[in-house]
Amino acid sequence: MQKRKLGKSNLEVSAIGLGCMGMSFGYGPAVDKQDGISLIRAAVERGATFFDTAEVYGPFTNEELVGEALAPFRKDVVIATKFGFKIENGKQAGLDSRPAHIQQVADASLKRLKTDVIDLFYQHRVDPNVPIEDVAGAVKDLIQQGKVRCFGLSEAGAQTIRRAHKVQPVAALQSEYSLWWREPEKEIIPTLEELGIGLVPFSPLGKGFLTGAINKDTQFDKTDFRNVVPRFSAENREANQTLVALIGQFAQQRKTTSAQIALAWLLAQKPWIVPIPGTTKLQRLEENLGAVNVELSPGDLRELSAAASKIPVQGARYPEELQRLVGR
């Protein structure tokens, strides 16, 4: 497995990581715990060293799963988790990035993850009630205490990134980025390049859509987050098949899969981009990790990028109340 550095930080990780959220949360019923442990360990055996979780996934159960699965390999892997939500009665209840709360979350996450240090601690969403300088300062304190190695932000806007970075260098920004969400190319990616910050794209396969496995007739489980995402309405799924067909055609010509083309395209954008596709299936895990071996020539990349940019994507990527939490 190839390795990559997240920007100028000292975090070296596998070129493709594993987003663990979907094993516990967001995409229908949680997987059986033993099955989740087996899958995470299978990823380690196949060279993955970068694992992403958050206290709010579950809440709490995903961190416990990741902690147990990775305990035997702890020295060889990088674990990222997140703070920034209030959790009440087992549910997300607004934002909370007050420094005292960040400290509490860190201590609780360390226990659940069965570790004495969090490799990468992201603010999950920017909290408009707490100056980002205070948030960065709180994580800086945790780094000085030896509880955290590196600071990250998730879905933050360019100005917030700059302000945070002045207080405590930001190692990585986690944001959605893929062939069907290219907004970060305008302002975010140039900002990260200038400051030496890595980019960790989540949903690099468009929440499963770019694999070609979802069509207008797909029925999601009632607990699946995609039911409330405008981009996943039946009519938008039908309209967005044009992009899926383009990627599928590209994959066929190169004797690979749509998922591998979508991931290889991301890897080719910058050497400090590390996508974290999620899955609950071993076959998909192997397919995703195999994308590091797919070589796209400069001509391939130009052709794919140009063709994809001509296809307008239908539907917002978040419902309105969640859209307000991003890009601040």
Contact 182, 217 (CB under 8 A): no
Q: Which of 57, 122, 177, 318 is catalytic?
A: 57
Indicate if the alpha-carbon torsion angle 56, 149, 275, 194 is positive or negative: positive
CB-count exposure of residue 275 (10 Å: 0-12, 13-18, 19+): buried
Is 57 annotated in the active site? yes
Buried b (16+ CB within 10 A) or exposed e, 105-121: bbeebbebbbbebbbbb
d(CA 36, CA 24): 9
What b/e readout covers 283-316, taking b as 16+ CB neighbours within 10 angstroms?
Answer: ebbebbbbbbebebeeebeeebeeebeebebbee
Tokens of 46: 């196949």
Beta bridge partners of 79: 51
User: Reduced to 3 DSSP states, what percent helix, strand and coil does the chain have, rounded to the nearest 5?
Assistant: 45, 15, 35
- Active-site residues: which are they? 57
